[in-house]
């Protein structure tokens, strides 16, 4: 991706994988706490977590959509509970350790298979 604003610091990391732990709203709050602490990022508000009611969409897409605002941007997390799949995007205006983000996410969600990720 071409950097059309080199004077603006931003780092983005997309991570996807299959998790092996039960995930609910409490788990999502704990993940946001773990990842922000590991990357030394500061949240300025509580996470917003959405769980659409049964019947609002396709059953295979049921799960959670979540976001935590950071002083330095934000983190979004999407969870498909039926397939135990997650997708998270860490977007910051502050540099962070990508390997630490991957390791923290892998450990937190007990990912034992391959994780896909992309920096942009």
Q: Which of 10-19, 57-66, 87-96, 98-107 has the lowest mean pLDDT?
A: 57-66
DSSP string, 78-89: EEETTTTEEEEE
Res 57 pLDDT > 70: no
Domains (ranges, CATH) in the chain? 20-119 (3.60.90.10)
Cα–Cα distance measured from residue 52 to residue 73, given in angstroms and rounded to the nearest whole number = 25
Residue 3: the pLDDT is 87
Residue 53: the pLDDT is 63
Name the one residue in this structure whose structure tokens are 């998790």.
Answer: 19
Res 52 pLDDT > 90: no
**Most distant pair of Cα atoms in the chain: their distance:** 46
Residue 61: the pLDDT is 75
Which of residues 2 and 61 earns the better pLDDT score?
2
Cα–Cα distance measured from residue 87 to residue 65, given in angstroms and rounded to the nearest whole number = 10
């Amino acid at each position: 991706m071409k950097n059309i604003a080199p004077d603006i610091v931003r780092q983005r990391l997309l991570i996807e994988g299959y998790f092996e732990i039960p995930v609910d709203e409490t788990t999502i709050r704990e993940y946001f706490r773990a990842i922000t602490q590991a990357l030394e990022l500061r949240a300025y508000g509580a996470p917003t977590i959405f769980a659409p009611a049964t019947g609002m969409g396709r059953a295979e897409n049921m799960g959670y959509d979540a976001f935590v605002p950071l002083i330095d941007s934000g983190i979004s997390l999407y969870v498909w509970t039926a397939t135990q799949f997650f997708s998270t995007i860490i977007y910051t205006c502050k540099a962070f350790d990508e390997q630490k983000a991957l390791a923290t996410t892998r450990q937190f969600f007990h990912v034992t298979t391959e994780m896909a990720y992309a920096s942009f």
